[in-house]
Structure 1
Amino acid sequence: MTVKHFHVEYSKLNNEGTYSPGDTLTGRVVVVTTKETKVQCFYVQAKGKAKVSWCEGNGANTVVHQDKRKYFYFEHIILQDKNKGDGSEIIGAGRNVFPFTFNIPNTDMPSSYQGKWGRITYSLRAQLTQSIWVVHKTKTEFPFRTTAEYPFASKTEMVIIGLKEQQQATRISFCGIGKVTMKFVSEKMGIRQGEAMGVTVEVINESSRTVTPKLYLCEKQTFVAQSKHMVHADDVLFGTGDPVSPHSSHTVTKVLSIAPLLSPTFFNCSMMKLEYRLKVTLDVPQERDSEIKLPLIILLGSPKPPQQKPKRSIWFRKLIG
């Protein structure tokens, strides 16, 4: 083996190392050899794609649903074309560096994403072929971030305005002897990565049972392939109120903090989408839980130092003050 080391790397444009539509991607392929090496073909590729895949059924009845879409594909020949290489090119002994440049299309493309049954990836791949028996391959993925401020389906002015508006819902349910009224209020519909906001639940318990409110952040991943849909849902508990005894009332306020690395809401991929909801349930012994759901859109956050803590909003400070 004359090739001791073979890898592809890219230059970082910012602290996060992310690229966006319209950026120029620069990098290099590094080859370390023990002696002069003949090359049949040597190239590097840049690719952006989305792919979904899942199985239904068991055994002989298993059906695979899958689909993929390519956002861009570029190839740069470094020494020899893979279809025309004749082995006449030679790489010198030692460390060799081969730079390359690709211009990412300035079009709407979704951010990098890893879901339950699908991925959106942006990658660099390099291949060096010495002979039909000796082929060297290397790959690295680079993080891609959309420049669309609102990468979801409905971009009407009312929805954009509504991102900053307070939202609320009320539900009346019956358990035991009597009724329970639950009012759920969230500060706004849209929140950025790394931010926090307050939510409140007011429970008026006129029943004969003790009830306990629980608050959840709900994630919903939807995948589409061959006209089939598959959904993966996950509920994360972020707050539990005190039990509300019969014929009493109680208001609980909790802070919802959005992790900086939590993927933003997106609908701008034809094969998958990511949505969120806020949910509050009433935990009632021996009764079916009542629940209220409110929409939540997680927006792309501004880059911040890792040590900076999310700020609580003015609305929340007034609410609990």
Structure 2
Amino acid sequence: MVLGKVKVLAICFDSLNEHSLPAFSGGDLVTGRVVVEVTGDVRVRSLDITARGVAKVRWTESRNAGANTAYTQNYTEEVEYLHHYDTLIGDERGKEAPGTSPCPHQYSHVVSYSNRALATSFEGKHGSVRYWVKAELHRPWLLPVKVKKEFIVFEHIDINTALLLAPQAGSKEKTLCCWFCASGPISLSAKIERKGYTPGESIQIFAEVENCSSRVVVPKAALYQTQTFFAKGKGKQIQQLVSNLRADALPQGKSQSWEGKVLKIPPVSPSILDCPIIRVEYALVVYVDVPGGLDLSLSLPLVIGTIPLHACTPRTSSISSNCSTLSWLGLSERPEAPPSYSDLEISESHRRDCLHSCGRSEGDGDGSLLTYITEFRYLPPPLYSEVDPYPDPVEVYGDGDGDRDVRRPDTCPSR
């Protein structure tokens, strides 16, 4: 009997993004199929799948220990985020499964995430965060057939939070000097609308640069990505330029204003802030390039997220803030107008009846007072008039000199 051969062993994912890549986020189920195609009669012992997600860090440092000796120190660290195992054909006791026919077979698999938060997939110089599914087809007396396929995980970062919508601003100043000759200061102040952005957005930069020195300086701005790797209590950091812009040169005694100068964010990895061994951070650096001297720089931290800015956010205006709050509470976005005083006005006859009943039950205690308050708490305010409707009484008297004097009752005539 001629033994058959395994022609195809492949892993297919059910969910693909717009770039035809398997991409998932925290809480999703990684679903897919393992495709097996054989020729002839193939005896299969088991078909197993394993899903793993691991963050790894590794770098090497060489040090001199003497004149002719040197040693190398390796720094490695690993954090496991996902480990899932399942048997699609056969059982864990190794019982041989029946042979498969030459036609293709598809076996569904489901991988559930663990309850802990995952780290976003990342590839760096000294470390990475990777997720994959591996299928192994075991046959009697033969080496197993293996296939491995990676998938992408995004741990979402919503920039529609109070912390990431807060404006970022700062200012600095420095004075250039050479031996005993000192020039005037160079001042820099910069501000951006918020801290959180997503790839593809543009950062509007508002800045003021004043050059009181004796040199010609150039204002610039740059977006940097900082990768930090941790292993064995030590860290290694790499900074990469993502995007930059340059303004016109600024002569001595001149100033320059940026009224929303635009710096676009290219497609970059989201920020990684919750992984214990890998951190990916971003910062916008606005600086003044000083020829022949140290640059004056101002760093504004940024967070690159995955959920873009909503159309109606609390930072836009008070009207949009009220709109967001009402929509969250399930209320109407247009508040109801208050009642007019004419609708609440009480007739004079009803007023007299209420006062009369209140006077009769004066000794009844709190009940009559409550009735009075209930009836009159919505009374309209009195009409405005420049003539006092209740003037104080006056009396006229004479003092024998032929003139009339007028006084109020609370005053006394001069003696």
TM-score scaled to structure 2, two decimals? 0.65
SS at match of 1:246: coil
Counterpart code for 1:290: L
1:232 pairs with 2:238: yes
Q: CA deviation at 1:88?
A: 5.0
Q: CA deviation at 1:301?
A: 3.0
Counterpart code for 2:279: K
The question of whether the paired residues in 1 share the 8 Å contact of 2:57 and 2:229 is answered with yes
C-alpha change, 1:39 and 1:302, in structure 2 (3 Å) is: farther
Task: Give the stretch that moved more between structures: 85-94 or 169-178.
Answer: 85-94
Pairs within 5 Å for 1:1-321: 2-12=5-15, 15=18, 17-57=22-62, 61-81=71-91, 84-85=93-94, 87=96, 89-131=98-140, 133-147=142-156, 149=158, 160-175=161-176, 177-252=183-258, 253-259=260-266, 261-302=267-308
The question of whether the paired residues in 2 share the 8 Å contact of 1:6 and 1:32 is answered with yes
The question of whether the paired residues in 1 share the 8 Å contact of 2:170 and 2:190 is answered with yes
Q: CA deviation at 1:200?
A: 2.6
Q: CA deviation at 1:236?
A: 3.3
**In 2, Cα distance between equivalents of 1:20 and 1:65:** 30
1:319 aligned partner:
none
Percent sequence identity over aligned pairs: 28
Q: CA deviation at 1:279?
A: 0.5
C-alpha change, 1:26 and 1:251, in structure 2 (3 Å) is: same
1:306 aligned partner:
none
Q: CA deviation at 1:148?
A: 5.4
The question of whether the paired residues in 2 share the 8 Å contact of 1:41 and 1:85 is answered with yes
Q: CA deviation at 1:24?
A: 2.3
SS at match of 2:303: strand
Q: Which runs of 4+ in 1 moved over 3 A?
A: 13-17, 86-89, 147-150
**In 2, Cα distance between equivalents of 1:60 and 1:11:** 52
Q: CA deviation at 1:55?
A: 1.1
Task: Give the stretch that moved more between structures: 27-36 or 174-183.
Answer: 174-183
The question of whether the paired residues in 1 share the 8 Å contact of 2:158 and 2:307 is answered with no
Higher RCO, Cα 8 Å, sep 6+:
1
Q: CA deviation at 1:237?
A: 4.2
Q: CA deviation at 1:40?
A: 3.3
**In 1, Cα distance between equivalents of 2:145 and 2:31:** 21
- Aligned pairs, how many? 296
SS at match of 2:48: strand
Higher fraction of strand: 1
Which blocks of at least 5 consecutive residues in structure 1 are unaligned?
151-158, 304-312, 316-321
Alpha-carbon displacement from aligned partner over 1:241-293 (angstroms, at most 9, x marks no partner): 1000011111234212223x422222111111111111122212211222111
Alpha-carbon displacement from aligned partner over 1:39-85 (angstroms, at most 9, x marks no partner): 2332111112211111111796222211112122111112235x743
Q: CA deviation at 1:15?
A: 4.8
SS at match of 1:244: coil
Counterpart code for 1:170: S
SS at match of 1:267: coil
Higher fraction of helix: 2
Counterpart code for 1:222: T
Counterpart code for 2:173: I
C-alpha change, 1:246 and 1:103, in structure 2 (3 Å) is: same
**In 2, Cα distance between equivalents of 1:91 and 1:43:** 15
Which blocks of at least 5 consecutive residues in structure 2 are unaligned?
64-68, 178-182, 310-314, 318-415
SS at match of 2:25: coil
**In 2, Cα distance between equivalents of 1:26 and 1:165:** 39
The question of whether the paired residues in 2 share the 8 Å contact of 1:220 and 1:274 is answered with yes
Alpha-carbon displacement from aligned partner over 1:101-138 (angstroms, at most 9, x marks no partner): 22223432122222221111221110112356532111
